[in-house]
Amino acid sequence: EGLIAPRRLPNPCLESPQRMDLHRELLFNQRIGKNVLNQKSELQKALSKHKEKQIMNQVKEHRETPELERAIAERAKRLEQAEQPPPAEEGTNPTLTEVRARLRHAAPASPAASAH
């Protein structure tokens, strides 16, 4: 019975401190529910793909409109703004309007009287 009892050979990879730290960190992240691989769900992938397509389409449309068309559109916009009547000033002096109204009523009816 002087035989040597068999035992497993040590695996240096499993016993390394770096591997143990990594394993401990992965277990901790799994417990708290943090996704370490940053994998997205199908919905998140589809949403990001859709947003990316929208941005690309906007850039493409902007690139496709020639400079002349943009200048014409800008000029048309300015003309529309110029045609609109300016908003009436709400801060006009009421006494000034009253004085003008009194002067109109008090003015002579004949234009010859004002020709002096």
Compute the distance between CA of residue 110 and CA of residue 29 in angstroms, rounded to an integer: 97
The residue length of the chain stands at 116
Q: What is residue 98's predicted lDDT score, i.e. its pLDDT? A: 84
Residue 76 located in a structural domain? yes
Q: What is the pLDDT of residue 55?
A: 94
Lowest mean pLDDT among 26-35, 45-54, 102-111: 102-111
- What does the pLDDT look like over 66-104, one tens digit per residue? 788 888 999 999 999 988 866 656 566 778 788 888 888
Whether 91 is covered by a domain: the verdict is no
CA 67 to centroid of chain Cα atoms:
25
Provide the domain limits for residue 40.
Answer: 12-83
* 112 is a domain residue: no
Asked, for residue 100, whether it belongs to a domain, the answer is no
Residue 73 counted as domain residue: yes
Alpha-carbon span 59 to 65, nearest angstrom: 10
Amino acid at 71: A
